Copies of this chain bind each other. A is one copy, B any other.
Amino acid sequence: MLRASANALARRASARSLSSVAAKYFPSEPAHPQLVTPAIPGPKSIQLNNDLGEKFDNRATYFVADYKNSLGNYISDADGNKLLDVYCQIASIGLGYNNPALIEAAKSDEMVYALIDRPALACFPSTTYKEILEDGILAAAPPSMSRVWTALSGSDANETAYKAAFMYQHAKLRGDQDFSSEELTSVMDNATPGASEMKILSFDKGFHGRLFGSLSTTRSKAIHKLDIPAFQWPKAPFPKLKYPLDEFATENHAEELACLEAFEDILSQHKGASKVAAIIVEPVQAEGGDNHASSFFFQGLRDITIKHDVLMIVDEVQTGVGATGKMWAHEHWNLTTPPDMVTFSKKFQAAGFYYSNPQLQPNQPYRQFNTWCGDPSKAIIAKTIYQEIVKNDLVTRTAAVGDYLYGGLQLLASKYPAHIKNLRGENFGTFIAWDCRDAGARNEILIKCRDRGVNVGGCGDMAIRMRPTLTFEEKHANVFLQVLEDVLNYM
């Protein structure tokens, strides 16, 4: 406890040395939640949602939001409540609501053309698309990655990466030979050898999307997968680390070694035309419960994939774009060889996968292809987000504010150990989570936080995850920590 307090104080000092970007962006941002109804959703939210439900499946609605009146880190609801938002549209609001830089981008002529003259990008790209990519998505690329294939969502990004992996591996197997007539015929019946028997390996508790290919690699919860056909692709164990990490260093290392061994066993079992074409892994398994592993584990994965000539796809759909205190979470690992592909979406609004090896482009056009191949309007948003991140050093700030927040949660964990367990995400920016006593307690805490003006999300079976914007600062952390303490006091 003493150590936690000292850390917290040091972190507090570091965060304070930065001037407020939020104040610059959002001079009228509320200083604290403003509540006008005793519970959330309030009556107007409920009425609007009931009406919407006659047209659109909205049974997962938390509340109906008034985006016009949302600002910065505060989301307004239909009743006029203003909540501090640390969930942020499932981790996808980067610069805060109604950020003036984004308003400017949205009102630009460039955006108007992108919106109303939407191109089939791979047939009729605009004169400006290269520049939009270079100044935005590609400027933000992970080290060593110089190319991108743009998509529309995280699922789409992952599935196009899978397709690139399958075509790459089959091209290697095929060598200089052309497609055989048997391949050309069989594929029209979805049969081998034209249709692939290769596989994408994913990890227990991983989440990679909900379309048919991505859902086959998603292993988060049964409810995400039930009744949907799935490919017979293998699943490897993901380390189950114990906290605090320094107390369980030996056990955790053994756990990671065992997982690496099991992983390599699976790769060894699939060879040739039915090999594992690629693995996909999240730097932190977000939907699955914010499960972390060490850099040692990820370096081990990379080494084994290279040994077995399997591609490594890092799914940065949720971890990417600064929240972990690095632009891309896998930069924390200092891999000796970079991953083959890195996928992104959410906070960047634009989606796609980065790569560097030109052989990840299939041997002919129209193989990796679709009508839109991305969306310039989202690429313009991504460009603006990236430029604001650089201008305001938002990743460094997020690292510092994350440390501050983590320190505060350490203090609360020492005070309420039954309610804040396995605190994780130290030195990982604001990408922080902890376990509650059980699912019921977790859900109760989420609801009570919301009723006190903080919108926070869960993940996994009993975890609460922090997913604030990159303009979340010490003052917002203080509001959050105070509300959380109030709630835990009553649990």
Contacts and interface: CB of A to CB of B under 8 A. Distances in A.
Contact of A60 (B58, B66, B106, B123): B123
Given A56-B147, A78-B127, 5 more contacts: A59-B361, A59-B365, A67-B126, A152-B153, A156-B211
Given A115-B381, A212-B159, A122 B153 contact: no
B211 A124 contact: no
Interface string A326-365: 0000000000000000000110010000000000010011
A305 B187 CA distance: 26
Contact of A64 (B114, B125, B367): B125
A323 to B, nearest CB: 15
Given A55-B147, A116-B98, A195-B228, A211 B159 contact: yes
Given A118-B89, A226-B179, A127 B97 contact: no
Contacts of A90: 120, 123, 371
B225 A187 contact: yes
Nearest to A122: B60
Contact of A188 (B65, B183, B219, B228): B219
A67 B117 contact: yes
The 5 A-B residue pairs whose C-beta atoms are closest, nearest first, are A212-B213, A190-B230, A59-B365, A102-B116, A170-B227
A68 to B, nearest CB: 6
Interface in A86-139: 89-90, 92-93, 97-99, 102-103, 105-107, 109, 111-127, 129-130, 133-134, 138
A194 B211 contact: no
Contact of A153 (B68, B70, B109, B372): B372
Q: Which of A51, A189, A199, A219 has the largest number of chain B CB atoms within 10 A? A: A189
B210 A369 contact: yes
A117 B226 contact: no
A386 interface: no
Nearest to A88: B120
B89 A55 contact: no
Given A226-B183, A377-B115, A213 B211 contact: yes
A152 B156 contact: yes
B370 A153 contact: yes
A366 interface: yes
Contacts of A212: 159, 162, 211-214, 216, 231
Given A56-B147, A156-B152, A227-B170, A209 B370 contact: yes
A124 B60 CA distance: 9
A197 interface: yes
Interface string A205-248: 00001111110100100111111111111010000000000000
Interface residues of A, number: 126
Interface string A17-59: 0000000000000000000000000000000110110111111
A95 to B, nearest CB: 8
A154 interface: yes
Q: Which of A48, A120, A198, A210 has the largest number of chain B CB atoms within 10 A? A: A120
Contacts of A214: 212
A52 B364 CA distance: 17
Contacts of A216: 190, 212
A155 interface: yes
Given A48-B130, A227-B167, A190 B233 contact: yes
A62 interface: yes
A416 interface: no
Interface string A172-210: 000000010001110111110011111100001000011
A65 B125 contact: yes
A75 interface: yes
A430 interface: no
